[in-house]
Amino acid sequence: MTNSNHIATEKSGKLILGNKEYLFQSCFYYYWIQVRQQRRRSLLVAILKFFVALSLLLACLYSAKLMTLWWQVPLPAPLVAMIFMLILLSSKMIQPNWLTPACEPILKYMALFFIPAGVGIVQHTPLLILQWPLLLSILIVVPTIGICLVAIVAQKGLKDD
């Protein structure tokens, strides 16, 4: 009796009132099925939303690649795609919340995508050993001068306001 009742509940997802003594149990069961279904549905929706956002980004990227090939634009295609996406967003043709499901995880874990390119350093160990004084001096000079110069310029500009 109970078993068949539960199976019926599970299949239809609706509460079928059986014996009174099982009422509490089946109420709980009904609630649990609802939660489970909702969870499954929201997971599915999240995955779908991620792929919609990703395909928007991909469409933008590949149209930019085509354009740069077609007109011989001397800019990297992903950057053209980014500017293109910015134009689409500011002209309200794409809502920003359509992009959120893909953009947030991609930007959060962006560092992960540099690993394959960065490991390429194993190919150039002789060069590194040969040129380490240059690399070290660049490493110290470029950020120091850059930070100081930009900070001074930025402060002057902000004071003028």
Partner 1 sequence: MINSLLVVILICCLFFAFRGLSRIKLSPLLNPLLLCIALISTLLLVLDVDYQTFFIAAKPLHFFLEIAVVALAYPLYLQFHDIKFYFLHILVCSFIGVTSATLLAFTLCEVFSVHEQLSASLAALSVTTPITILISAELGGINAIAAVMVILVGMFGGIFGISLLRLLNITHPKVMGIALGVSCHAIGTASAIEYHPTAGAYASAAMTISAVTTAVWVPPFYTWLSVL
How far apart are alpha carbons 91 and 83 in whole angstroms? 12
Query: Site residues for partner 1, window 35-54 (CB under 8 A)?
Result: 54
How far apart are alpha carbons 160 and 23 in whole angstroms? 74
Residue in the block written with tokens 């053209």: 80
Q: Which is nearer to partner 1, 33 or 85 (CB)?
A: 85
Q: Which is nearer to partner 1, 7 or 127 (CB)?
A: 127
Q: Which is nearer to partner 1, 23 or 66 (CB)?
A: 66
Q: Does 76 bind partner 1 (CB under 8 A)?
A: yes
Check: CB of residue 70 under 8 Å from CB of residue 115.
no
Q: In the bound complex, what is the minimum distance in angstroms from residue 43's beta carbon to partner 1?
A: 20
Q: Which is nearer to partner 1, 2 or 137 (CB)?
A: 137
Query: Site residues for partner 1, window 102-141 (CB under 8 A)?
Result: 102-103, 106-107, 109-124, 127-128, 131, 133-135, 137-141
C-alpha to C-alpha distances, 62 to 25, 57, 73, nearest whole angstrom: 55, 9, 14
Q: In the bound complex, what is the minimum distance in angstroms from residue 156's beta carbon to partner 1?
A: 10
Residues 6+ apart with CB under 8 A from 30: 9, 14, 15
Q: In the bound complex, what is the minimum distance in angstroms from residue 79's beta carbon to partner 1?
A: 5
How far apart are alpha carbons 33 and 39 in whole angstroms? 10
Q: For every residue of 116-130, which 3-state class applies, written as one string?
A: HHHHHHHHHHHHHHH
The contact set with partner 1 (CB under 8 A) reads 54, 57-58, 60-61, 74-79, 81-83, 85-86, 89-90, 96, 99-100, 102-103, 106-107, 109-124, 127-128, 131, 133-135, 137-155, 157-158
